[in-house]
Amino acid sequence: MRNRITEMFGIEVPIFGFTHKPEVAIEVTNAGGMGALAASYYQPDELERILTDMDEKTRGRPYCIDVLFANKVGEVVPLSERLKALPKEHIDFVEKILDDAGIPALPPDVEAQMLREKPPGHGHTEEGVLEVLEIVVKHPQARFVLSAMGAPPAYVVDKLHGHGIRVGAMAGSAEHALKHVHAGVDLIVAQGSEAGGHTGTISSMVLWPEVVDAVSPIPVLAAGGVGSGRHIAAALALGAEGVWCGTIWLGSSESELSPDMRKRFIAARSQDAIQRKYDTGKPLRGLRSKWTDAWDEPGAPEPLPLAAQKLLVAPALKRLELANAADYMGYMAGQVVGRIKDERSIRDIMDGMKSECVAVLEGLSATA
Residue 224 has pLDDT above 90, yes or no: yes
Report the chain's mean pLDDT, rounded to a whole number.
95
Write down the pLDDT at residue 124.
78
299-303 long-range Cβ contacts below 8 angstroms, 24+ apart: 300/93, 301/87, 301/89, 301/90, 301/93, 303/276, 303/277, 303/278
pLDDT band at 239 (very low <50, low <70, confident <90, very high): very high
Q: Which residue has the higher pLDDT, 32 or 118?
A: 32
Query: pTM of the entire structure?
Result: 0.93
Is position 112 within any domain? no
The 10s digit of each residue's pLDDT in 168-209 is 999 999 999 999 999 999 999 999 999 999 999 999 999 999
Residue 94 has pLDDT above 90, yes or no: yes
Write down the pLDDT at residue 71.
65
Write down the pLDDT at residue 74.
73
Residue 352 is which amino acid?
G
Q: What percent of the chain has pLDDT over 70?
A: 99
Write down the pLDDT at residue 63.
98
Q: Which residue has the higher pLDDT, 42 or 247?
A: 247
User: How deeply is 178 buried, as exposed, middle or buried, from its count of CB atoms within 10 A (0-12, 13-18, 19+)?
Assistant: middle
Is position 285 within any domain? no
Is position 264 within any domain? no
Is position 311 within any domain? no
Is position 323 within any domain? no
CATH of the domain at 46: 3.20.20.70
Is position 349 within any domain? yes
Write down the pLDDT at residue 330.
87
Write down the pLDDT at residue 200.
92
pLDDT band at 44 (very low <50, low <70, confident <90, very high): confident
pLDDT band at 76 (very low <50, low <70, confident <90, very high): confident
Is position 228 within any domain? yes
Write down the pLDDT at residue 125.
83
Write down the pLDDT at residue 117.
87
Is position 207 within any domain? yes
The 10s digit of each residue's pLDDT in 127-172 is 888 999 999 999 999 999 999 988 888 999 999 999 999 999 999 9
Write down the pLDDT at residue 20.
96
Q: How many domains is the chain partitioned into structurally?
A: 1
Write down the pLDDT at residue 73.
66
The 10s digit of each residue's pLDDT in 270-312 is 999 999 999 999 899 999 999 999 999 999 999 999 889 999 9
Domain that holds residue 159: 4-71+122-254+340-367
